[in-house]
């Protein structure tokens, strides 16, 4: 059985990708970077989601000698030209301050009419092998931005993105409902044929 390492210490993300691989009948053992504590975190210096995902996947593959998967994702707002994009987690200036990021974005969009509040979550997922082979796939979740946060599930910008065809925000969906339509779920599922092709 081939061991596949995912560039995350987030148990939820590991569980999600494990389930997708299992559903596809792939036998690979998936572990997170917590199994390799000596592996340093990688600076995300790319200018696209794909570049950041590849940076992390290649660094992990080199450090462990194993096939590695990494992803990068964020919120892209049409009227902001795709911003916050790769800066989603640090839009307010402090990395990972979800509340501050959300409030700043809502303030920036306060005078934007409802019909112009289209946005999407984007995720790039990369697979890198120790020999330098690489592949990237992408997934998107399109929707519109609410004016006030609603819901307590999820994280980040989930409370303000209402997916197409939904009356609820991502933060009002159950984890199962969200995983079925999420940008990350779509990207991870698109990675399945790549894993099958490169790893068997």
Looking at the annotation, which residues are catalytic?
72
Query: Annotated binding residue at 156?
Result: yes
Instruction: Report whether 184 belongs to an annotated binding site.
Output: yes
What span, in angstroms and rounded, lies between the C-alpha atoms of 190 and 20?
A: 10
Rounded distance, CA 60 to CA 69, Å? Answer: 8
- Please tell me the distance from the alpha carbon of residue 121 to that of residue 141, in angstroms, as a whole number: 5
Closest by CA position to 33, among listed 24, 43, 41, 21:
41
Residue 73 marked as a ligand binder:
yes
CB 118 within 8 A of CB 109: no
Any binding-site annotation on 153? no
Query: Do the annotations mark residue 130 as ligand-binding?
Result: no
User: Is 3 labelled a binding residue?
Assistant: no
Q: Is 189 annotated in some ligand binding site?
A: no
Is residue 4 within 8 Å of residue 29, measured between CB atoms? yes
Positions at the binding site: 8-13, 72-73, 155-158, 178, 183-184
Positions at the binding site for substrate: 8-13, 73, 155-158, 178, 183-184
């Amino acid at each position: 059985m081939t061991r596949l390492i995912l560039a995350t210490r987030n148990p939820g993300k590991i569980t999600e990708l494990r389930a997708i691989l299992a559903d596809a009948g792939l036998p690979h053992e998936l572990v997170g970077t917590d199994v390799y504590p000596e592996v340093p975190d990688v600076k995300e210096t790319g200018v696209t989601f794909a570049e950041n995902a590849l940076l992390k996947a290649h660094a992990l593959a080199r450090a462990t000698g194993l096939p590695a998967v990494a992803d990068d994702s964020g919120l892209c707002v049409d009227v902001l030209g795709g911003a916050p994009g790769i800066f989603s987690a640090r839009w307010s200036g402090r990395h990972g301050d979800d509340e501050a990021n959300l409030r700043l974005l809502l303030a920036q969009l306060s005078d934007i009419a409802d019909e112009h509040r289209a946005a999407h979550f984007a995720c790039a997922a990369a697979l890198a092998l120790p020999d330098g082979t690489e592949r990237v796939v992408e997934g998107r979740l399109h929707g519109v931005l609410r004016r006030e946060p609603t819901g307590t599930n999820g994280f980040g910008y989930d409370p303000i993105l209402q997916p197409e065809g939904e009356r609820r925000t991502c933060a009002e969906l159950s984890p199962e409902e969200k995983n079925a339509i999420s940008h990350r779920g779509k990207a991870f599922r698109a990675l399945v044929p790549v894993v099958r092709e490169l790893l068997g």
